[in-house]
């Protein structure tokens, strides 16, 4: 099993999805919120609290990073642990009342009260989101020299316009992801989850389905179509996919479509109507409603990278 695990990790590719340093204007507590991408957070001075829903809030220590895997509900608070929580939708609707992005680095003590974060994806075997299939909970990672240097490098690179900036950000994010995987491996974390999923990572059928979905987001992706790709029955398709990926097929399809939509909104000047068609949703009004429901903001406002935490609201 160990050699197969190494083979899979050798295919790891991380994609940078955004980063920022935020000044907290007023304390907040949000219960719960889900992230569209994996999020790595460092507190820059004030108290930051976290917990899985149903558990008591725990303060992030000064020498720790917090990793929030995508689509895992988490309770977050900044400033005080005993505040009355607000919903993720309310936070996103009033985003600028709570948070302001810091646009200059390095940060001095007067402006550093807040936190910094990096959004990213981690895939193996080209289309498999490793953290998703392992169903990782939110957990902390102690600071190391390499980890801290990579984190700060990504933040600094974000604020500069240099040659090959995108390549540099993806490369540094890749190294960060490797450090996270090494920490998990060295401390034998979540080994049972890896063992349970290893057989699916070696199953060509699920890899074919994931490849087809991600290459054909603009097409009809019903369970019947996906079952045909893997040559399995439509009735078995939902159960098989859920066991392998920890998500229902149509929930995964929508997640990939909305993630691509967010990328296109921020990386291109395409109209919302064009983007809606490109991700397979012919009804632009429906796309706008789903986008608002998932992210808490209108699609038109998502073009501004400075004011989006890449949040997926818990429905």
Token representation of residue 61: 């220590």
pLDDT tens-digit map of 201-212: 889 999 999 999
Task: Tell me what pLDDT residue 2 has.
Answer: 62
Strand order in the sheet with 28-35: 58-59, 48-51, 74-78, 28-35, 311-312
What's residue 11's pLDDT? 92
pLDDT on residue 315:
46
pLDDT in tens, 281-313: 999 999 999 998 877 778 888 886 655 566 655
pLDDT, position 242: 92
Res. 116: pLDDT tops 70? yes
Q: Which two tokens stand for residue 53?
A: 């829903």
What pLDDT digit, counting tens, does each position of 177-222 carry?
Answer: 999 999 998 888 887 787 788 888 889 999 999 999 999 999 999 9
Domains of the chain: 2-191 (2.60.120.280), 204-312 (1.10.10.60)
Mean pLDDT value across the chain: 88
Q: Is the pLDDT of residue 3 over 80?
A: no
Helical segments of the chain, H only: 2-9, 88-93, 95-98, 130-134, 145-158, 165-186, 191-201, 204-215, 223-230, 234-245, 249-267, 272-278, 284-295
Number of Cα atoms under 13 Å in the Cβ half of residue 175: 14
Of the chain, the percentage scoring pLDDT greater than 90 comes to 56
* Helices and strands counted in the chain (H then E): 13, 12
DSSP 8-state class, residue 123: E
**Average pLDDT of 158-181?**
93
**Six-digit token string for 307:** 């004011």
Please give the pLDDT value at position 91. Answer: 83
Diameter over CA atoms, the chain: 61
């Amino acid at each position: 099993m160990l050699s197969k695990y190494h083979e899979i990790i050798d295919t790891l590719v991380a994609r940078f999805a955004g980063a920022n340093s935020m000044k907290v204007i007023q304390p907040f507590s949000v219960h719960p919120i889900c992230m569209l991408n994996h999020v790595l957070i460092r507190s820059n001075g004030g108290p930051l609290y976290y917990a899985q829903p149903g558990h008591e809030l725990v303060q992030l220590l000064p020498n720790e990073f917090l990793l929030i895997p995508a689509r895992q509900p988490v309770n977050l608070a900044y400033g005080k642990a005993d505040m009355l929580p607000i919903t993720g939708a309310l936070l996103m609707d009033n985003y600028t009342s709570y948070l302001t992005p810091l646009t200059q680095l390095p940060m001095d003590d007067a402006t550093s009260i807040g936190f910094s974060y990096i959004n990213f994806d981690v895939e193996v075997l080209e289309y498999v989101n490793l953290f998703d299939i392992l169903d990782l909970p939110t957990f902390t990672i102690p600071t190391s020299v390499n980890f801290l240097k990579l984190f700060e490098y990504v933040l600094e690179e974000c604020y500069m316009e240099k040659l090959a900036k995108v390549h540099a950000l993806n490369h540094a994010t890749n190294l960060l992801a490797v450090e996270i995987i090494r920490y998990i491996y060295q401390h034998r974390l979540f080994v049972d989850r890896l063992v349970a999923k290893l057989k699916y990572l070696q199953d060509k059928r699920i890899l074919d389905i994931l490849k087809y979905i991600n290459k054909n987001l603009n097409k009809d992706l019903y369970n019947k179509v996906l079952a045909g790709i893997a040559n399995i029955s439509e009735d078995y398709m939902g159960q098989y996919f859920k066991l392998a990926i920890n998500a229902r097929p149509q929930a995964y399809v929508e997640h990939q479509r909305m993630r691509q939509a967010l990328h296109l909104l921020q990386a291109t000047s395409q109209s919302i109507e064009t983007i809606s068609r490109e991700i397979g949703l012919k009804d632009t009004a429906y796309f706008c409603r789903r986008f608002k429901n998932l992210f808490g903001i209108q699609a038109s406002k998502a073009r501004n990278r400075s004011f989006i935490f890449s949040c997926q609201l818990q429905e």
